[in-house]
Each structure stands twice: as structure tokens, then as C-alpha cells.
């Protein structure tokens, strides 16, 4: 398969895989209300189920799986982890208690922990610094695609066949993806002699593929070295904080939005699914593509401008999110929610591209896993739990509207994330110059001197 065609196929398959991996999380938010009634759970228990129970194992397992991705065969890893989460998602439909569902969700988390680091690492191998915002934006389209499928399909299927059968149906496509990955993808590090790699690299560079050469096994940096390099990078530290804070408020709000519309606006699950498929799915797809396209066209290799734009966008997100829960007019709510979807998704491609450009080739998966470790523990783990706990707390005086006030309390937090993006914009040019987009090996001398934050 010609290199340009293979790159396109690789990107599409990884995007579809990410979409189905995220589909389960989106659908869980749609099904929370029915799970609550069926298993007689509190909002705090639902927060544990959709938050920390999943996020803890997803985040912690991301580090060893990412280390495997940086040093081993990523195709094998992708196949095994995709198969695991697919089977576990199907098993969610047979859980008969809160404890059983918790343990099954742990299996889903371990499997899904392999998807993102592998995808990010492989894409960064095949697309250069100028191309990465667009490529990463296409890859992160998996998120909005999951929102379309998760909200629309889960909402309709829940009404037709119930939440249990919905989970069983959602697990099946992942098995096909695992088989396709095993049969059609190739690990560029495997079974090539140095001479063959050199000839292949020259041919790829002539065709514009810009595939990076494989680092010899003996020069792979240790995990300690990787962590030391990442800790010394000021911009990486700021972006780690930015994503962690952003995830806290994104997941703290997003996971509860279906329940909010069902409780406060009396929407059915089908109605919520249709509106959210349009707002977070269709609009999210457009915004994700737009962010990568604008960064690639108008700010290629200008990461400072990209981060300043992200900062302004997140300020707007905080203001619009507050309006969503403060307004008593449903047209205003839906329009403001559309603006939130635009703001959240437009920045994803440039942010992930910058992180991959900040670190050497053999550190990319671990760098992303480290980001996801903190982002998911703080964001996915504590965000939904914080909202659920606030809702139970406010229930004493707010009654049926307690969830509205909990979500309203969370909304201005996006502005805090904007501040961290702005701080990253001040150091990104210098840190990128130090890396110079080339693989950095394990020599201590190549670690940039740590600077005070």
C-alpha cells in the first residue's frame, strides 16, 4: 500500500477506534437515569460509577500501556486492548448490582486505556510538526463521532430495548476493529534492518510522508529518563495543568447533562439523544475539524498563537456554560450549549499536536499517558463525582432543581483552565526550540535545564 494511502487508512482506522472507545462513556451518561431507577442508586453513586471507578484504572493503567506503546509493538497492544474493552462493555448489560457494574467498568477502563496513547504515538510518527494539528484534529474527531452515536443511538436504543441490551450492542463493533487492526496495520519499528529503514525513510521523505526513523532498542530512554525530561519542560507542565482542569469541568458537566435535561426540562431520552447528537456530535465534528484546519492553515508552527486562541476560547466556554444553567428559556439554553460544544472541541487538535511536538519520538505515548493520568483522575474521576455530591448537597433546599445548581456552580471553572493555556503560550516557543522536533535519546546531556514555574 503506498505510503500516502496507508497514512490515510491508518488515521481513519485509529479515529474510528477512538470513536467506539469513547462511545461507551457517552452512552453511560444517557443511561444513568435508567440505571439509577433500575438499581436504586443515589447521585453520588452514579458519580462514582461514571467518574472515579472508571477513571482511576483508566489513568493508572495508561502508564504501563503507554510504555509498551513507546517500546514495543503498538499493533499488538491496540488489538488486545480493543478486544478487552469491547467484551467488557457488552458485559455491562448483565450487571445486577452497583458492585458488579463497578467491577465490569474497571475492565472497560483497562481496555480503553490503550487506545489514546497508541493512536497519538502512531500518528505523530507519520505526520510532521506542521501537519500534526490537522492530523490530530481528524483523530480527535473520534470524540464528536462518539457523541453522535452515543447520544442518538443510546437514546433511541434505550427507549426500544432498554439500557442492558444497549450496552451489549455497543460492545460488538470493537471486536471487528480489533481484527482489522491485527490484520492490516503494521508496526513501523518491527522487522526492518537499519539499511531497509534508511531506504524506506528516503523514499517516504521524497513522497512527503515524513515518517520518523526507528530508534535503536539500546537507545530507548528509561521510564525514569522520560519522566525527568517531561518534568523539566515548562510548557508540558502548564499543559498538563490545563488539560486536567479543563477535563474536571468538561466531564463534571457533560456526564450529567442528559440527566439535567430529563429532570429540569422533562426531555425524554430520545429527545436528549437527538439534540445532543446535533449539538455535541455534528457541531463537535465541525469544531474539531475547524480547529485543526485553522491551526494548520493560519498558524503552522506558531504554537504560541494557537495557545492564546485556546485561552480566549475557554473564557468564552465558561461564560456560555454559566448561561446554559442560569437561563429559564430553552432556546437560549440550546444556543448557549452549542457555543460550549464549539469551544470545547475547537481546541483539541492543536493542544494534542503541541504536546506531541514538545517531546521526542520515544516519549510520545508516555507523555500522553501521563497527561491522561492526571486529566482523568482529576477530570473524569472527580468531575462527575463533584457534581453528583453537590447535587445531593443542594437537594435539601433546591429539591428537583439541585442538579441545575450543581452544574451552575461548576461552569465558571473553564476560565481557570484558560489561565493555564495562557501561561503555556509564554514558554512554548523556547521549549519547542529545545526539542527541535527530533528524537531525543537517553543521554542526560540532552535534557533541557529545568526552569522555575
User: 202 lies in a domain?
Assistant: no
For residue 210, pLDDT over 50 is answered with: no
Cell numbers of 166, please? 444497549
For residue 212, pLDDT over 70 is answered with: no
Task: Look up the pTM and report it.
Answer: 0.69
Closest by alpha carbon to 361, among 236, 231, 244, 219? 219
User: 20 lies in a domain?
Assistant: yes
Task: Give φ, ψ of 181 to 5 degrees.
Answer: -60, -45
Regarding predicted confidence, which is higher, 203 or 409? 409
pLDDT band with cut points at 50, 70 and 90 for residue 450: very low
For residue 236, pLDDT over 70 is answered with: yes
Residue 198 is predicted with a pLDDT of 43
Task: Give φ, ψ of 141 to 5 degrees.
Answer: -60, -20
User: 196 lies in a domain?
Assistant: no
User: 381 lies in a domain?
Assistant: yes
For residue 336, pLDDT over 80 is answered with: yes
Looking at 153-262, which runs of residues are DSSP E strands? none
User: 371 lies in a domain?
Assistant: yes
For residue 219, pLDDT over 70 is answered with: no
Q: Domain count for the chain, please give it.
A: 1
The percent of the chain in helix, strand and coil, each rounded to the nearest 5, is: 85, 0, 15
User: 443 lies in a domain?
Assistant: no
Q: What is the mean pLDDT of residues 275-295?
A: 87
Closest by alpha carbon to 268, among 34, 37, 25, 24? 34
Counted residue by residue, the chain has a size of: 453
- What mean pLDDT, rounded, does the chain reach? 82
User: 447 lies in a domain?
Assistant: no
Segment among 204-213, 245-254, 275-284, 318-327 with least mean pLDDT: 204-213
User: 179 lies in a domain?
Assistant: yes
For residue 9, pLDDT over 50 is answered with: yes
User: pLDDT tens-digit profile of 345-372?
Assistant: 898 888 988 988 888 777 777 787 788 7
For residue 272, pLDDT over 80 is answered with: yes
Cell numbers of 98, please? 452497583
**What whole-number distance in Å separates Cα of residue 212 and Cα of residue 437?**
10
CATH code for the domain in which residue 63 is found: 1.20.1250.20
**What whole-number distance in Å separates Cα of residue 351 and Cα of residue 385?**
26
Range of the domain at 282: 3-186+219-437
Closest by alpha carbon to 107, among 166, 154, 171, 177? 171
Residue 371 is predicted with a pLDDT of 83
Q: What is the mean pLDDT of residues 412-439?
A: 87
**Residue 298, Cβ neighbours under 10 Å: how many?**
11
User: pLDDT tens-digit profile of 41-64?
Assistant: 887 788 788 777 787 888 788 888
- The position carrying cell 503498538 is 74
For residue 215, pLDDT over 70 is answered with: no
Residue 177 is predicted with a pLDDT of 93
Amino acid at each position: 500500500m503506498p505510503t500516502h494511502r496507508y497514512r490515510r487508512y491508518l488515521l481513519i482506522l485509529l479515529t474510528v477506534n477512538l470513536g467506539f472507545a469513547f462511545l461507551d462513556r457517552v452512552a453511560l451518561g444517557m443511561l444513568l437515569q435508567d440505571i439509577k431507577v433500575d438499581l436504586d442508586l443515589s447521585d453520588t453513586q452514579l458519580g462514582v460509577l461514571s467518574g472515579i471507578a472508571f477513571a482511576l484504572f483508566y489513568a493508572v493503567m495508561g502508564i504501563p500501556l503507554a510504555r509498551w506503546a513507546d517500546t514495543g509493538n503498538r499493533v499488538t497492544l491496540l488489538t488486545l486492548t480493543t478486544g478487552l474493552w469491547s467484551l467488557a462493555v457488552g458485559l455491562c448489560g448483565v450487571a445486577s448490582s452497583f458492585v458488579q457494574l463497578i467491577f465490569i467498568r474497571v475492565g472497560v477502563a483497562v481496555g480503553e486505556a490503550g487506545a489514546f496513547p497508541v493512536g497519538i504515538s502512531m500518528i505523530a510518527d507519520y505526520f510532521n510538526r506542521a501537519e500534526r494539528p490537522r492530523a490530530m484534529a481528524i483523530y480527535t474527531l473520534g470524540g464528536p463521532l462518539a457523541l453522535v452515536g452515543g447520544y442518538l443511538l443510546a437514546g433511541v436504543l434505550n427507549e426500544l430495548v432498554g439500557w442492558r441490551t444497549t450496552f451489549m450492542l455497543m460492545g460488538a463493533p470493537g471486536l471487528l476493529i480489533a481484527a482489522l487492526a491485527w490484520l492490516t496495520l503494521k508496526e513501523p519499528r518491527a522487522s526492518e534492518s537499519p539499511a531497509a529503514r534508511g531506504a524506506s525513510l528516503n523514499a517516504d521523505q521524497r513522497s512527503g510522508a515524513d515518517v520518523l526513523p526507528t530508534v535503536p532498542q539500546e537507545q530507548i530512554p528509561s521510564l525514569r529518563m522520560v519522566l525527568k525530561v517531561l518534568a523539566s519542560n515548562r510548557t508540558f507542565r502548564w499543559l498538563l495543568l490545563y488539560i486536567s482542569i479543563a477535563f474536571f469541568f468538561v466531564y463534571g458537566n457533560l456526564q450529567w447533562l442528559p440527566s439535567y435535561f430529563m429532570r429540569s426540562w422533562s426531555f425524554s431520552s430520545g429527545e436528549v439523544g437527538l439534540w445532543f447528537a446535533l449539538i455535541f456530535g455534528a457541531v463537535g465534528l465541525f469544531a474539531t475539524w475547524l480547529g485543526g484546519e485553522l491551526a494548520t492553515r493560519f498558524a503552522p508552527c506558531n504554537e504560541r498563537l494557537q495557545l492564546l486562541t485556546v485561552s480566549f476560547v475557554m473564557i468564552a466556554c465558561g461564560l456560555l456554560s454559566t448561561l446554559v444553567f442560569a437561563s429559564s428559556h430553552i432556546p437560549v439554553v440550546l444556543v448557549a450549549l452549542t457555543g460550549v460544544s464549539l469551544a470545547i472541541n475547537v481546541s483539541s487538535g492543536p493542544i494534542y499536536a503541541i504536546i506531541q511536538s514538545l517531546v521526542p519520538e520515544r516519549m510520545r505515548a508516555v507523555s500522553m499517558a501521563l497527561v491522561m493520568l492526571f486529566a482523568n483522575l482529576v477530570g473524569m474521576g472527580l468531575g462527575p463525582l463533584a457534581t453528583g455530591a453537590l447535587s445531593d448537597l443542594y437537594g435539601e433546599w433546591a429539591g428537583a432543581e439541585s442538579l441545575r445548581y450543581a452544574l451552575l456552580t461548576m461552569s465558571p471553572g473553564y476560565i481557570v483552565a484558560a489561565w493555564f493555556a495562557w501561561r503555556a503560550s509564554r514558554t512554548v516557543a523556547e521549549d519547542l526550540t529545545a526539542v527541535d522536533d527530533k528524537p531525543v535519546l537517553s543521554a542526560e546531556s540532552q535534557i533541557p535545564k529545568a526552569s522555575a514555574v
